[in-house]
Amino acid sequence: MEVIVTHSNADCDAFASLVGASLLYPEATIVLGRRVSPRVRDFLALHREHFEHMRYDELDADAVQRVIVVDVRRAGRLADFPALVARMQSDDGPVVHIYDHHAPAADDLDGELVVVERVGATATILVEEMQRRALTPDPVECTLFMLAIYVDTGSLTYDTTTPRDAAAVGWLLSRGASLAMVDRYLRLALSDEQQSVLTRLLASLQPRKVGATTVAVGGVNLERDVNGLALIATHV
């Protein structure tokens, strides 16, 4: 058995990377964790039949022979898969392939194949690999990959954006990605609860000098879990 996994509360880049990896590893099964972000939840609601997957609690970790890990390589961020992580860290565990774009951390997993590139989104890495293999994702998949790149790069405006991200977007557009659909998900509205957290967070911001740069620092204590904190952060 081969599986593809990503971090808890999968965001657009994580989910798109799961789908991208499934095109590179057609025998592998996507396994979703306990939660996904609001954008991913809404995208799946419209296209659920398009993306076959299993849930984390359906996985038999002992049966897995190869794991493809995307958009993460920190063991601590794979909290939904403790048995699988334990096997990956053992001497006789499954083969591990990793695709990621994040900075290194102390609890990074190792693998037989580790592809880590400093680009704006992991989806960019997988799109480039599709191009090398002459794979052609369909328009729905292209739209998902482009949404992931747009979200993780602030529509190609963040400092982490690279020419490779822009080139990937161009290639996806040429293969049917829908800008209208991307725009729809980028404009996803906050719930009343999320808006309340955002208002409190903005009110808490205090300017601080860090070297020659002024940054705003703030925080909110939450009495219970609030879904979609990453979406809230994009509005700050």
Residue 223, pLDDT score: 80
Which token pair is 127? 């799109």
Strands (E), the chain: 2-5, 29-32, 54-55, 66-70, 95-100, 113-116, 206-210, 213-217
Q: Average pLDDT of the chain?
A: 91
Residue tagged 């403790």 (tokens): 82
Instruction: Note the pLDDT tens digit of each residue in 78-124.
Output: 999 999 999 999 989 999 999 999 999 999 999 999 999 999 999 99
Q: Which helix (H) or strand (E) holds 54?
A: strand 54-55
Q: What CA–CA distance (Å, rounded) separates 82 from 94?
A: 14
Q: Using alpha carbons, select from 205, 224, 225, 229 the residue that is nearest to residue 215.
A: 205
Instruction: Note the pLDDT tens digit of each residue in 173-229.
Output: 999 999 999 998 887 656 667 767 877 887 888 888 888 888 888 888 888 777 667
Residue 190, pLDDT score: 64
Mean pLDDT for the stretch of residues 19-48: 92
